[in-house]
A and B are shown apart, each in its own frame.
Chain A
Amino acid sequence: MSDTIKIRKGLNIKLAGAPEPRLCDGFQATSYALRPDDFPGLVPRVLVHEGDVVQAGTALFCDKNRPRVLFTSPVSGRVEAVVRGPRRKLLAVVVSGDDRGKSESFPVADPLALSRDEVCDVLLRSGLWPSLIQRPYGIIAQPGDVPRDIFISAFDSAPLAPDHAFVLKDEAADFQAGVHALSRLTSGKVHLGLPAGRPDYAFLGAIQGLTCHYFQGPHPAGNVGIQIHHIAPVNKGEVVWTVHPQEVVLMGRLFLRGVCDFSLLLAVTGAEAPVTPAYYRVIRGSSVRWLTARSADGAPRRYISGNVLTGNRLDADGFLGYYDHQITVLPEGGEPEFLGWMMPGMNKFSFWKMFPAFLMPGKQYRPDTRLNGGHRAFVFSGVYEKVVPMDLLPVHLLKASLAGNVELMEQLGIYEVIEEDLALCEVICPSKMEVQKMLRQGIDLMIREMS
Chain B
Amino acid sequence: MLMRMKFLRDYLDKAKPHFQKGGKLHVFHSTFDAFETFLFVPAATTPPQGAHFRDAVDMKRSMSVVILALMPALLFGMFNVGYQQMLASGEVRTLLENFMFGLWKVLPLIVVSYVVGLGIEFAVAQVRGHEVNEGFLVTGMLIPLILPVDTPLWMVALATAFSVIFVKEIFGGTGMNIWNPALVTRAFIFFAYPSVISGDSVWVTGLRKGMDTVDGFSGATPLAEATASVTSGLSGSDLLRDLPSMWDMFLGLIPGSVGETSTLCILLGAFVLLFTGVASWKTMLSVFAGGAFMGLIFNLVGGSAYMELPFYYHFVMGGFAFGAVFMATDPVSSAQTETGKWIFGFLVGLLSVLIRVANPAYPEGMMLAILFMNTMVPLIDHYVVHAHIRRRLKRAHVQA
Contact = CB atoms under 8 A, between A and B. Distances in A.
Contact of A373 (B48, B60, B174, B176): B60
Nearest to B389: A411
A409 to B, nearest CB: 11
B43 A380 contact: no
Nearest to B2: A338
Interface string A319-339: 000000000101011111111
B9 interface: yes
Given A310-B50, A351-B57, A380-B62, A341 B41 contact: yes
Interface string B43-61: 1111111111111111111
A291 B342 CA distance: 53
Nearest to A424: B51
Interface string A239-277: 000000000000000000000000000000000000000
A300 to B, nearest CB: 10
Interface in A338-376: 338-342, 345, 348-355, 357, 367-376
Given A349-B55, A376-B174, A411-B392, A393 B337 contact: yes
Given A235-B396, A377-B176, A382-B338, A338 B5 contact: yes
Nearest to B337: A393
Interface stretch (A23-31, A50-58, A429-437): A429-437
B400 A235 contact: yes
B360 interface: no
A385 interface: yes
Given A374-B58, A376-B133, A434-B47, A341 B64 contact: yes
Nearest to B330: A379
A335 B43 contact: yes
Nearest to B396: A235
B276 to A, nearest CB: 5
B49 A348 contact: no
B11 to A, nearest CB: 12
Interface stretch (A67-75, A100-108, A125-133, A301-309): A301-309
A434 B50 contact: yes
Interface in B159-182: 172-176
Interface in B50-86: 50-62, 64-65
Contact of B39 (A233, A302, A339): A339
A208 interface: no
Given A338-B39, A370-B44, A372-B41, A330 B53 contact: yes
A377 B173 contact: yes
Given A371-B45, A376-B133, A377-B176, A311 B52 contact: yes
A236 B388 CA distance: 15
Contacts of A172: none
Contacts of B282: 382
A340 B59 contact: no
Contacts of B54: 367, 370-373, 426-427, 429, 432
B209 interface: no
Contacts of B399: 232-233, 235
Given A370-B54, A396-B385, A427-B54, 6 more contacts: A340-B41, A351-B55, A354-B61, A376-B58, A379-B331, A381-B280
